Amino acid sequence: MILASFLKALAQLPDVRFRSVLWRGIGLTIALLIGLYAGLLWIVEWLTAAPITLPGVGEVTWLGDLLSWGSLGLVIVLSMFLMVPVASAITSLFLDEVAQAVEDKHFPALPRVPSVSFGDGLRDTVNFLGVLIGANLFAFILYAIFPFAAFFIFYALNGFLLGREYFQLAAMRRIGREGAKALRKRHQGTIWLAGCLMAVPLSFPLINLVIPILGAATFTHLYHALNRD
C-alpha cells in the first residue's frame, strides 16, 4: 500500500501543477532572500550615512563597502542553511493543489472540495514548521546522549512528523480536521512508516525540495486507500 502510493506519486511528478507548486515555492524563497539582502543593505546605508571617525584613524570611508560585502556573504551563507526549510515551508502553502491534482487524475469521480484558504494554510504551515524545528533541536540532545542511534532517531522523528502532517493535510480535505485525526490514530503505524519513507530523501540536497510535493501526493493516495479499507 505504501510503496504503491509512493510510486503513483512519483509517476505524477511531471504534472504541470506539481511543477507549478515547486517553482512557486523556490521562486518565493529566492525573492525572500533577495528581500532580506535588500533590507540588510538599507540598514548598512542607514548606519553609515553619517561620517564615521575612529580615534587615531580619522574618518573611515570604507566601512560601508565592508558591511555591504559582508551582508552579501551573510545572505549567501544563510541561504545554504535556509533554502530547503524555507522553500519547503512556502511550498506547503500550495500543497492543496497537489492533492487536487492527484484526485483529478486518479479519483475523477470524487466531487471537488473547497480549496484551503490562504490564512488556514499559512497557520498550518507555520505551526508545522515550528514543531519540526523544535523537535529537531531537541533531537540534538538525544544525538549527544545516544550517538550510536542518531541515524535512527533522525528518521524515526522526522518520519513521524512528516507522516502526521501530510496525512492530516490529505484527509482533512475530505473528512475534516477531527475526522482526519481519528483516522490517523487508527493507522498510526502505517502512516509512520510512510513518513519515514518521505524522510529518507531529506538527506539529499536539491532532491529534498520536492519532498513536500511528493509527500502530499503520496499521502493523498494513502488516505484514500486507508479510508476505503
Residue 11 has pLDDT above 80, yes or no: yes
Look at the chain and count its residues: 229
pLDDT value, residue 78: 58
User: How do residues 148-169 score in pLDDT, each as one tens digit?
Assistant: 888 888 888 888 888 888 888 8
Identify the pLDDT of residue 52. Answer: 59
Between residues 184 and 29, the one the model is more confident about? 184
Q: What is the pLDDT of residues 131-153, one digit of tens each?
A: 777 777 787 888 888 888 888 88
Predicted confidence (pLDDT) at residue 222 exceeds the cutoff of 60: yes
- Per the prediction, the chain carries an average pLDDT of 77
pLDDT tens track for 83-113 = 555 656 666 677 788 888 999 999 988 888 7
Set of cell numbers at residue 97: 493543489
pLDDT at 69: 63
Long-range CB pairs of 83-86 (<8 Å, 24+ gap) are 83/29, 83/33, 84/205, 84/208, 84/209, 85/129, 85/132, 85/133, 86/29, 86/32
User: In 3D, which of 102, 124, 119, 209 has the Cα closest to residue 169?
Assistant: 124
> Does 40 or 49 have the greater pLDDT score?
40
Indicate the pTM of the whole model. Answer: 0.73
Res 196 pLDDT > 80: yes
Residue 221: band (very low, low, confident or very high) from pLDDT cuts 50, 70, 90 = very high
pLDDT of residue 82: 54
Q: pLDDT band at 223, cuts 50/70/90? A: very high
What span, in angstroms and rounded, lies between the C-alpha atoms of 158 and 111?
33
Is the predicted pLDDT of residue 44 greater than 70, yes or no? no
Residue, of 10 and 137, whose pLDDT is higher: 10
Map out the domains of the chain as residue ranges.
2-228
